[in-house]
Amino acid sequence: MQWRPRKYDFQAMKILIASPLRSYTGADEVEAYGANLRALLADLDARYPGIRFRMIDEQDSVRRHMRIFINGEPVKDLKYVLDETDEVCIVQALSGG
Amino acid sequence: MAKAKARAKRKATSKKQPRPARSKDGLLLVATRKGAWLFRGNAARNEWRADGPHFLGHIIHHVMLDPRDGKTMLATASTGHLGPTIFRSTDMGKNWQECPRPPAFKKQEGGRTVKHTFWLTPAHANEPKVWYAGTSPQGLFRSEDGGITWNEFSGLNDDPKYRAWMGTEQDGTPNGPKLHSIIIDPRDPKHLYFAMSGGGVHETMDGGRQWKPLIEGMEVVAGFDPKTVTFHDPHCVRLCPSNPDRLYQQNHCGIYRLDRPAKVWKRIGKTMPTQIGDVGFPMVVHPHDDQTAWVLPMDGQTVWPRTSIKGAPAVYGTSNGGKSWTRLDAGLPKSQAWWTVKRQAFAADRGKPVRLYFGTTSGEMWASQSEGKSWNCIARHLPEIYAVETAQI
């Protein structure tokens, strides 16, 4: 069955995707809906199954080497309320070999 | 009487399952820090074809072929950045799908997080789609649908006594504390063993309702109390397929053997040459002869270099249950080879004679067609090798 977005009061947000997660999305920029970060990640996982657990652990914490920036600010609280104009970036920490 | 009943029950439940038809070609499943490789060998095992990398850039901790159907493979994966997952193939590694629910602890206050799935064990032949997995930090998981979805198994992960024995992550080994060596008694699917680094060896007779430590006779680092379960660091435990009452163990503190129903491990590593000692990681048992086993000693002095002793790698084999050991190094470098071989990176096939394979952290694969009497290198320049498994296809 083709995925269809649920009805929301606002438009889909654009999300920049870190390169390690592009095997899920196939693109560096995707869209998802959510009134807060938790809902946004749930929607993202519905579109790209498995992607959430690779960046958020089972205790609902952002994984150690992953970062989520909203409008340029790092956010770890999944209850963070989103606005449709927010810019969401999921990035990986810089690392060595 | 109770023991006799238990044995009779184990015998009764052990049904022979039809094995899938196989050719005589060999398969090596090699997990590395940067991906997985499948090496396909001809019947003579003198030609190997590398198939890989699979999952380039992923840390692959273990790849295992299901011996019950001969085609399902699971690969446990993580990366430097992303959380852990398991990939699954049902066509011998041609195509892979990600499992939708990999092992994860339950969400709760102060709950733990699986860093990676370290160990995979297909369950009993009578439970065709059941698999077990051990994680870092220590957790025991079970899948009943061929590795697609995973659940915590048996309440062990939250048992206060076991949590205390597991210790914290800070108490664990440098790459994280691990639950490993999940062993199923081929006569009884409810009789299981597992080991923890650290946290000892454990056994259940009732399918995981009750677990009991099995640490008597095992030594710990000098100055610590061997009665304290958490101080025990078994590196690798193996059950002899030809005699399921016999277990061998390579421990942080020596090599051991246990003949059930006895509960006291016997340190058989004391018969190793004193200049070699009995420290190491892997333990390999002969598939047809319970008197024969192999180890790959590592330097365990001072700060634990964990390299071949004096830079001269050697396998040591026993053919009398550990009464004596023979150095088996023909074909291996004689000097300046500072290898480390991890606990899952040494394996035997089921051939006659048995062929042995090990992979080094410096990315070399070595093979012996003569039960260790001579060795040759079959692959170089791989990433750091974490695990090696064998299969016949």
Q: Does B85 touch chain A (CB under 8 A)?
A: yes
pLDDT (average), residues B188-192: 98
> What token pair was written down for B53?
């990398």
pLDDT exceeds 60 at position B56? yes
pLDDT (average), residues B135-139: 96
- Indicate the residue of B81, B100, B114 with minimum beta-carbon distance to A20: B81
Asked if B324 contacts B272 with a C-beta cutoff of 8 angstroms, the reply is: no
pLDDT exceeds 80 at position B336? yes
pLDDT exceeds 80 at position A3? no
pLDDT exceeds 90 at position B23? no
pLDDT (average), residues B53-67: 97
Task: Work out the minimum CA distance from B392 to partner chain A, whole angstroms.
Answer: 32
pLDDT of residue A93: 79
pLDDT in tens, B307-323: 999 999 999 999 999 99
DSSP assignment of B30-85 equals EEETTEEEEEEE-TTS--EEEEEEESTTSEEEEEEE-TTTSS-EEEEEE-SSS--E
Chain-chain contact of B83 with A65 (C-beta, under 8 angstroms): no
pLDDT of residue B144: 98
Q: Using 50, 70 and 90 to split pLDDT, how confident is the model at A9?
A: low
B contact test, residue of A21, A47, A59, A67 with most B CBs within 10 A: A59
- For residue B142, give the DSSP letter: E
pLDDT of residue A29: 95
pLDDT of residue B275: 94
- For residue B169, give the DSSP letter: G
pLDDT of residue B14: 47
pLDDT of residue A12: 86
Closest Cα partner for B55 from B38, B72, B39, B71? Answer: B38
pLDDT (average), residues B140-145: 98
pLDDT (average), residues B26-48: 96
Asked if B76 contacts B86 with a C-beta cutoff of 8 angstroms, the reply is: yes
Q: Which phi and psi angles does B283 have, rounded to 5°?
A: -140, 130
pLDDT exceeds 90 at position B24? no
Superfamily of domain A13-92: Beta-grasp domain (3.10.20.30)
Average pLDDT, chain B: 93
* Global ipTM: 0.83
Chain-chain contact of A63 with B107 (C-beta, under 8 angstroms): no
Range of weakest confidence among A17-26, A84-93, B13-22, B262-271: B13-22
pLDDT exceeds 80 at position B6? no
Chain-chain contact of A50 with B82 (C-beta, under 8 angstroms): no
Chain-chain contact of A58 with B100 (C-beta, under 8 angstroms): no
DSSP assignment of A3-71 equals --PPP-SSPPEEEE--GGGHHHHSSSEEEE--SBHHHHHHHHHHHSTTHHHHHB-TTS-B-TTEEEEET
Task: Work out the minimum CA distance from A23 to partner chain B, whole angstroms.
Answer: 11
Give me the residue spans of the domains in chain A.
13-92
What is the value of pTM for the model shown? 0.91
Average pLDDT, chain A: 88
The residue in chain A having the minimum alpha-carbon distance to the alpha carbon of residue B84 is A54
Chain-chain contact of B111 with A95 (C-beta, under 8 angstroms): no
- Indicate the residue of B81, B98, B111 with minimum beta-carbon distance to A59: B111
Helix ranges restricted to H, chain B: 2-13, 160-166
Chain-chain contact of A58 with B102 (C-beta, under 8 angstroms): no
pLDDT in tens, B67-118: 999 999 999 999 888 999 999 999 999 999 999 999 999 999 999 999 999 9
- Indicate the residue of A53, A61, A66 with minimum beta-carbon distance to B81: A66
pLDDT of residue A84: 87
